[in-house]
Amino acid sequence: MPLEFGTDGVRGLANAELTPELVLALGRAAARVLGGPFLVGRDTRRSGPMLQAAFSAGAASEGVAVVDLGVLPTPGVAYVSARWDAPGAVISASHNPFPDNGVKLFAPGGRKLTDAEEQTLEQELHALVAGTAGGDRPTGAGVGHLDLDPAAVEAYAAHLISSLEGRTLEDLTVVVDCGHGAASTVAPDVLAITGATVHVLGAAPDGVNVNAGCGSTDLGPLRTAVVELGADVGFAFDGDADRVLAVDAAGGVVDGDHLIALCALDLRGRGRLKDDTVVVTVMTNLGFRRAMEAAGIAVHETPVGDRHVLEALDAGGWSLGGEQSGHLIFRALATTGDGILTGLQVLDIVARTGRPLADLASKAMTRLPQVLRNVAVAARADGDAIRLMAPAVEAEQARLGAGGRVLVRPSGTEPVVRVMVEAQTEEQAEGVALRLAAEVARVLGP
């Protein structure tokens, strides 16, 4: 059975779960459902060229032209997709270790697939793998052709720089950790063009070092470098650069919740936060919600996944949304989460206000202690399985009262259940999380 779509495309161990044969079939299915020409980019994993070739071959076998964008961040592919009004694919497993890989898809216009489009694509993929899909393949001149677009990186970089509206960052010193991923091709040059003094880490990808002790999965090297170099800000990207975490001048971590909060307050102050509303997911810290309420900003909550955030932004016509993990969507500027764009917007706030990032972040919100636990289960859990946990969840929530929050949800990508607890103290949150994790293991464990 082919891999099923999770919250962000398909993902698995490259050449084992995610095989070239399966990706070729996915390329065929995507071409049938989404049309073409098809834009295909990738991150820096060793398996990337292999799987990109397989996807491209599948699309071309359906008579669709394919444009190879090379190594390009996921939001870069989305930008070119919007610019061309063409579908796109990104061969990447984002923050996963390098042996994994995945395929993310964009519909024409650079937008995430709808549930209906995903379902149709899954059905077509299953039929192709089973050999039951109809239709003759084109031959001769009908076969799709493969082109290169070496200007994609430059076009995306120009788009990023234009978001500053002519302002510069020339008085700021920045350290960027590209995680040996796709940000390596764009982030250092873009920041240098804005006038910032830039120090670069993790920008020597060799196919196996993506996310390895660097980038957003390990902030240690960045925190050390920011302090030692006396930098104002540091940014760490994941493999495909669709999210970012920040570090202040003292080496303190500024997560996605704080970044969303300070950006929301800045946009509202400049009259650019539509309806004074921000969109976040159920994982967003309770401290964020309290800070926004105090500031008079409405909070719209969605399930986990930047696709859900984007759907809410478009439905409400709102300006800003994001996730604690560092996916931020500036809807007037992008169709998906963009780590480099977020970094530029944060630096712009620092430059315009003349205030350190630590001050901006601490004034924007106060984070409640939050504990996360991942519990292995027998199979990917669904809603019925999670409902079995309702009595235990309700009991723990009653203990916490209004001073805390409990969330138990299935992962969208792997057979684990995620337990999240927020409380007034770290010890209290740890205790609740441990009890709930044990109950999940007892009721749903392998």
In this predicted structure, what is the pLDDT of residue 285?
A: 94
Same domain, 316 and 374: no
Catalytic residue among 47, 56, 92, 94: 94
* Amino acid, single-letter form, for residue 161: I
Contacts of 50 (CB under 8 A, 6+ apart): 14, 15, 20
Contacts of 430 (CB under 8 A, 6+ apart): 371, 421
In this predicted structure, what is the pLDDT of residue 4?
A: 67
Residue 301, phi then psi, degrees to nearest 5: -105, 140
In a domain, 4, yes or no: no
In a domain, 223, yes or no: yes
In this predicted structure, what is the pLDDT of residue 413?
A: 66
Alpha carbons 339 and 241: distance in angstroms, whole number: 5
In a domain, 169, yes or no: yes
Same domain, 16 and 138: yes
Token pair 């050390």 is found at 224
Same domain, 29 and 133: yes
Smallest Cα–Cα separation from 57: which of 112, 137, 130, 149? 137
Same domain, 139 and 24: yes
Same domain, 122 and 165: no
Smallest Cα–Cα separation from 328: which of 352, 316, 351, 344? 344
In this predicted structure, what is the pLDDT of residue 265?
A: 98
CA angle 258, 262, 265 (to 5 degrees): 140
Work out the number of other CB atoms within 10 angstroms of the CB of residue 345: 21
Same domain, 138 and 42: yes
Q: Which of 150, 174, 204 is the last residue of a domain?
A: 150
In this predicted structure, what is the pLDDT of residue 7?
A: 61
Same domain, 48 and 121: yes
Q: Which two tokens stand for residue 256?
A: 């996605």
Adjacent-strand bridge partners of 422: 370, 405
Report how far apart, in Å, the C-alpha atoms of 410 and of each of 269, 383, 389, 417, 418 are: 37, 8, 11, 4, 6
C-alpha torsion sign, points 235, 237, 242, 245: negative
Same domain, 162 and 143: no
CA 67 to chain centre: 23
In a domain, 33, yes or no: yes
> What CATH number corresponds to the domain at position 177?
3.40.120.10
In this predicted structure, what is the pLDDT of residue 377?
A: 85
Smallest Cα–Cα separation from 325: which of 260, 416, 421? 260
In a domain, 426, yes or no: yes
Would you tell me the crossing angle of helices 426-444 and 390-400 to the nearest 10 degrees? 170
Adjacent-strand bridge partners of 371: 421
Work out the number of other CB atoms within 10 angstroms of the CB of residue 384: 7
- Total structural domains in the chain? 4
- 3-class SS shares of the chain: helix, strand, coil, % to 5: 45, 20, 35
Same domain, 37 and 142: yes
In this predicted structure, what is the pLDDT of residue 1?
A: 46
In this predicted structure, what is the pLDDT of residue 391?
A: 92
Same domain, 43 and 121: yes
End-to-end Cα, the chain, rounded Å: 21
Tell me the mean pLDDT per 10 residues along the chain, length 446: 67 95 96 96 98 98 97 98 96 94 96 91 93 89 94 96 97 98 98 98 97 96 98 98 97 97 98 98 94 97 90 96 96 96 98 98 95 86 79 93 90 83 94 94 84
> What CATH number corresponds to the domain at position 431?
3.30.310.50
In a domain, 279, yes or no: yes
Same domain, 43 and 136: yes
The H-assigned helical ranges of 201-285 are: 220-229, 256-269
Same domain, 89 and 102: yes
Please tell me the pTM assigned to this model: 0.92
CA 392 to chain centre: 31
- Chain length of the chain: 446
Q: Which of 101, 131, 150 is the last residue of a domain?
A: 150
Alpha carbons 235 and 201: distance in angstroms, whole number: 10
- Catalytic residue at 216? no
In a domain, 134, yes or no: yes
| Residue span of the structural domain in which 227 resides | 155-252
In this predicted structure, what is the pLDDT of residue 143?
A: 96
Q: Which two tokens stand for residue 5?
A: 């779509």
Q: Which of 150, 174, 205 is the last residue of a domain?
A: 150
In a domain, 428, yes or no: yes
Smallest Cα–Cα separation from 23: which of 135, 97, 104? 104
Contact call for residues 301 and 281 (beta carbons, < 8 A): yes
Q: What is the H or E stretch that residue 358 is in?
A: helix 357-364
